[in-house]
Structure 1
Amino acid sequence: MKTINNKIKSIGLAACFALAFSGCDYLDIVPDDKPTLDDAFKNEQTTEGFLYSCYGYIPRHNNFRTNFTWAMSNELVATFHWGAQYFSFLQIQQGMHSAASPVLDVWQDMYKGIRQCYMFLDNMDKAVPVQITPEEFEKKKRVFRAEAKFLIGYFHYVLLQNYGPVVLIDKTIPQDGSEEDMFRKRSNYDDSVEAIAEMLDEAIVDLPDSWPKSDLGRPTKSVAQALKSRMYLYAASPQFNGNKDYADFKNKDGEVLISQTYDKEKWKKAMDETKKAIDMAHAAGYHLYEYNRPDAPSDPFEKAVLSARYTMVEEVDNPEMIWQYTGAKESVDDLTPCFQAHVIARGFREDEWPLGALGATLTTVELFYDKNGKPLEEDQNAWNNRFMIAPGDSTIQLNRNREARFYAAIAFDRGKYQIGDRAETLYMKYGERNGCVDLNSNHTYSGYLCVKGIHPNMTITPNYYTITSYPFPLMRLGELYLNYAEACANYQGTLDQFGTECYNKIRQKAYLPTLAEAFGNKTGNDLVEIIQRERLIEFMFEGHWLYDLKRWKKAEEWFAKDREGMWGLNSVGKTNEEFYQKTRLANRSYVFDFKHNFYPIKQQYINVNHNLVQNPGW
């Protein structure tokens, strides 16, 4: 496998060992200044420390500088003057990446993580416990092995999600490995899925049902099964199920890498694996999040707003979160999602203009349902007048009478923004307190702010502000519910009783009418599209959009309208007439062609491994 080959050829075992511990404090416990693998696996503490280093390869989902999920879609738009040379997500949005310079090398990072895990499995039995009995250590090692196997499966899954068919690695490849091992070809997509599922099944046997709070972020049985649910849903989707657009996507030996024959039973497989995941999650005590703090409002709509907002940011005891990223913490320096709120919050201070730099696009604003749970565009009067201000009101009709999730995710001119115990009114026209000062300064270019992902418990004073960090959601029960509904609708053309319950639980949480009440007896493609839109709304800003649009084979059409610039309001408008205009945002194009359905493998790796083929179009 080429990335590992490059690593083996360019750095020795000692350097690999050093890489294994980069970014952690583990080496502080190693004697002398020449750490060896024997030192790393000396006892139960050092062995667990090595296992922790394997977790360091999980992508930093809360940092948009290195993020390749939520930052890469058209959900958010950056301030006008940010240059692409400093922000990887802008380069990818604008189609500036290439096989020679892919910008984010997820391929190499994941294979480093896989190698690290196999190194752990190969050496962990060397350890001799010093503070626990050998019998107790054997029990811990069974869990350690399961964690490492899960991570191997997960790292392969991340590759699958971003590159399609992967090079499967089933062991440590030694420096003197055979050519067959050193130069592996890509496995076809379906074989990749089955191999990863087998890895996860092996992990499930010894993974625990739960972890104590101090170990939040380590995988459980439910995490592994939920990942299988998502993976099989992807495998059943149009991008990978009988996609003739990839008829020429082959290994050098002629093996077709993506199935050319549609198999309806893949949807049934997704249904079955998702049902297992839901049952497992329910047995472990997971349920949809509901805001039930002492200050919960009695009004069900207001409670639904808080439930939707806190689902993502509740930092402890969140019953909906099956798996969360607990690695690098959020900070202002990291420019994480909370950076948006940090700098917006500074706009609430009397002595300083705002520095907001990321805002929700008009695409996201218009996508939410109205208060009756229906698409806004179905009401032609409401749609045609959405940029008008009703008599006696202070903001456009687009911002009024929307569903609860809208107000949990989006803030707007003359609307409220909840910060701590304060609900500040926003003034966002040009020159106003929260608006644009000039195009060469940070501002919310779209005229809309993000609320979702911003913890309300931030501390804001005239002199400082602090961040309330939270684990970033990777998998939650709500996803499993919509996974099942989508798979069922595609397989049966309608929803069975369980699928209807799953879909309606999402609607009930959002205080929306049921499927039948809002849409009637929809079937076939109409039903599938309803579920797809529900998914886009429910998981906005959580890293699902781009991958869902790709697997539905809708990405090219979806992003085409943004090729000359994403859409927002006119942030330099001073009056209602000027500000509330649908505006194409200059300098913020979104380029998506067929080849962008997969990221390019760095050409350097293709050159090293003569059996490795590049993704189509690159």
Structure 2
Amino acid sequence: MKKHIVLLFVAIMTLSTCSDWLDVVPDGVATLDMAFNSRTQALKYLATCYSYMPKNGGSADPATLGGDDIWTRKTTHFSNRFSLAGLDISEGNQNATNPVLPRWNNMYQALRVCNTFLENVDKVPDLQAWEREQWTAEAKVLKAYYHFSLVQMYGPVPLIRENMPVDADVYAVKVERDPVDECFDYIVELLDEATEGDMLPTFVLDPASDYGRITKPIALSLKAKVLVTAASPLFNGNNDQATLKNHDGTPLFDTTFKPEKWEAAMKACKEAIDICHEAGMMLYKYEDAAKRYNDTTVLNITLRNAFNLRSNSEIIWANTQMISIPTSGGMIHASMPKLNPDYINSNDICKWLGMPIKIAEMFYTENGVPLDEDKNRNIGDLYNLRTATSKDRLYIRQGRTTVDMHFDREPRFYAWVGFDGGVWFGAGQYNDKDPSSLRYLAFKIGETDGTEGQGNWTGYIPKKYIPYEAQLNAINNISSPSYAWPIMRLSDLYLLYAEAINEAEGPAGANSADLFHYIDLVRARAGLQGVKESWDNYTNNQKYTTQAGMREIIQTERLIELAFEGHRFWDIRRWKTAPSEYHTPLKGWNMMVSTIDGTEEEVNRMMYQPQLLAEQKFGIRDYFWPIRTSDIEANPNLVQNIGW
């Protein structure tokens, strides 16, 4: 961001009539006069504003490999198609000379483009008044989103309210960072302007061509997330950032905790929920009208579709800049197992992305409580071997031996986590009346999904990324539905509301009924009892009666419900729990065990020995990205983040 001037030339994007609103490709450049001389050209420019959206859920997203929930080895040969740069973040190798996966330049370019659109949209001669209002509101929401993306990553940033004129004094463009509270205030101001009256529609007019365009539910849900973030410990009374000041001494963080921030967040969450309900949104449930499957399978499909079924009933906002497709380098391809013994010799489909043991342990038991709190579980038995029986047959292959911790877990574990012996409904096999016909994962070397030195190193894969219909249709080729990456689902919003109520009032305040109602809706969709029932019946504590205990429950619920979607990376930062999470060593099972290494019992015992995968690092400086050294040299008014 060396100069903030009006762009004279911008990339113009074409809109495909048979595809998504944001599924755009460059088709040349045009002057500003050309860009706004007709409705068609202005619409292309608006698409350009959208085109800068951060690529959620891919190798360019720091939340994919920069956290502690998804991991792979840097030596994997898949790295030539799927960037492993995010591992440098989790390993403590971030740097100021060449920051890893930064957003600074791209987001500021996006803001200049949005400002240019807002400054020129009134010039379009054939644009109807309602369209002008709607497009203006969309651009303001995008401005808010891009500023928010910068604040999440860098903390206090220079606000770009309008573009600098081309003849601006050189000192005018050498901007300073604005205090973080002012950043949040401006983001909310933009969202309030965009949601005033009926400027934005409640839902897109044409789902076939406008999927991904901003609506009022999107704008208000973004406002809810922004205000929850602003109220969270990272930004609300954070003494760790007390020394971050501009050169003139202006503090960039207010170190005083302000409880009214949680009040504002609570109100914004409820407003967003109300408009989402008005738009007909609801937690997704698979309707088995033909009664083909039993209840266990229906719930499994429900939970998998809730994330990866395109435009289902709970997707508030999906990023169609990031379409998950089964091609090389995508999330489906990076996670897909072979499953079918016919393709055991595939050297390309090797479930490259894995999860550490601690993430598998995070999911609840079948009783809806943590493993270490369930009074019906012996925590010392978790790594003991156990063989699946007929009662387990829809979750674990009957007769297969695995560890005790894989048994009697909540449905989300089986729907979203792949593990050795785990049944994999779909992939061409759908007869749940005959569980022995269903696919299952076989991870030992010599079996269908054995690693043989490449591929998965943890013993777990993020099954959530893969639609249940996905399958190999050739030795190295996947057939799968595609989907746009969900930025925000209704379950996310419900849990934000529960969190805001608890932080503002505690679990026994005026809105306590809503607190338990909305978290219990998420749990009920996952096949679990409510919080009170679960803790009363299956634990020896009533932690939900205290604010601290309820905070732990809500945070765990978010980490489970939104697992592998990129939220954990930012949540543990805003909660300031990142150090404890990152400092827990990443471990996996012994994936180099072969079926010929001994008897079946010996092989299983060798496999289920935890192996150290990586030691991660996290310090105070890692909460925020460094500003590139060259940018600070170009603009000495910018102060660097603490520790860099």
TM (norm. structure 1) is: 0.90
Structure 2 counterpart of 1:604, one-letter code = S
In terms of mean alpha carbon deviation, does 404-413 or 493-502 score higher? 493-502
1:490 Cα offset (Å): 1.6
Alignment partners' CA distance in 2, 1:147 and 1:75: 33
2:553 maps to which residue? 530
1:410 maps to which residue? 417
2:86 maps to which residue? 89
Q: Deviations over 1:567-592 (max 9, x none)?
A: 1111113311111112211xx44222
Q: Is 1:517 matched with 2:533? A: yes
Change (3 A) 1:154 1:436: same
2:190 maps to which residue? 199
The Cα RMSD (Å) is 2.4
2:633 maps to which residue? 607
Alignment partners' CA distance in 1, 2:342 and 2:112: 48
Alignment partners' CA distance in 2, 1:347 and 1:600: 48
Alignment partners' CA distance in 1, 2:572 and 2:493: 18
Alignment partners' CA distance in 1, 2:553 and 2:457: 30
Structure 1 counterpart of 2:526, one-letter code = A
2:569 maps to which residue? 546
1:579 maps to which residue? 607
Change (3 A) 1:378 1:348: farther
Q: Is 1:469 matched with 2:482? A: yes
Alignment partners' CA distance in 2, 1:277 and 1:257: 29
TM (norm. structure 2) is: 0.87
Give 5+ residue unaligned stretches, structure 2. 16-22, 389-398, 430-437, 537-541, 595-602
SS in 1 for 2:464: coil
Alignment partners' CA distance in 2, 1:333 and 1:320: 26
Kept in 1, the 8 Å contact 2:324–2:484? The answer is no
1:111 Cα offset (Å): 0.6
Structure 2 counterpart of 1:557, one-letter code = S
Kept in 2, the 8 Å contact 1:302–1:404? The answer is no
* Pairing of 1:180-579 with structure 2 (within 5 A): 181-205=172-196, 206-211=199-204, 212-213=206-207, 214-294=209-289, 299-316=294-311, 318-331=312-325, 335-342=329-336, 344=338, 349-352=343-346, 354-379=349-374, 382-390=378-386, 393=399, 394-422=401-429, 423-438=438-453, 441=454, 443-463=455-475, 464-495=477-508, 496-520=512-536, 521=542, 522=544, 523-562=546-585, 566-574=586-594, 575-579=603-607
Change (3 A) 1:296 1:447: farther
SS in 2 for 1:61: coil
Structure 1 counterpart of 2:324, one-letter code = E
SS in 2 for 1:358: coil
1:334 Cα offset (Å): 5.6
Structure 1 counterpart of 2:386, one-letter code = A
Alignment partners' CA distance in 1, 2:110 and 2:291: 43
1:410 Cα offset (Å): 0.7
Q: Deviations over 1:37-67 (max 9, x none)?
A: 2122221111101110111100111322x11
Kept in 2, the 8 Å contact 1:296–1:303? The answer is no
SS in 2 for 1:311: helix
In terms of mean alpha carbon deviation, does 181-190 or 531-540 score higher? 181-190
Q: Is 1:121 matched with 2:118? A: yes
In terms of mean alpha carbon deviation, does 511-520 or 73-82 score higher? 73-82
Kept in 1, the 8 Å contact 2:387–2:402? The answer is no
* Pairing of 1:171-186 with structure 2 (within 5 A): 171-179=162-170, 181-186=172-177
Alignment partners' CA distance in 1, 2:73 and 2:528: 34
1:209 Cα offset (Å): 0.9
Q: Deviations over 1:16-43 (max 9, x none)?
A: 4248899955646x7xxxx322122221
SS in 1 for 2:323: coil
1:519 Cα offset (Å): 1.9
SS in 2 for 1:150: helix
Kept in 1, the 8 Å contact 2:590–2:607? The answer is yes
Alignment partners' CA distance in 2, 1:347 and 1:99: 48
Kept in 1, the 8 Å contact 2:587–2:611? The answer is yes
Paired residues, number: 590
Structure 1 counterpart of 2:305, one-letter code = Y
Kept in 2, the 8 Å contact 1:102–1:599? The answer is yes
2:69 maps to which residue? 75
Change (3 A) 1:296 1:536: farther
Alignment partners' CA distance in 1, 2:524 and 2:135: 39
Alignment partners' CA distance in 2, 1:225 and 1:142: 17
Kept in 2, the 8 Å contact 1:297–1:303? The answer is no
1:4 Cα offset (Å): 5.0
1:596 maps to which residue? 622
1:296 Cα offset (Å): 6.0
Change (3 A) 1:580 1:90: same
Q: Is 1:170 matched with 2:161? A: yes
In terms of mean alpha carbon deviation, does 450-459 or 510-519 score higher? 450-459
Aligned residues: percent identity? Answer: 32
Alignment partners' CA distance in 2, 1:270 and 1:218: 24
1:294 Cα offset (Å): 3.1
Kept in 1, the 8 Å contact 2:12–2:44? The answer is no
* Pairing of 1:9-158 with structure 2 (within 5 A): 13-14=7-8, 16-18=9-11, 25=25, 27=27, 35-64=30-59, 66-79=60-73, 81-82=75-76, 87-129=84-126, 137-158=128-149
Structure 2 counterpart of 1:210, one-letter code = F
1:391 Cα offset (Å): 5.2
1:13 Cα offset (Å): 4.7
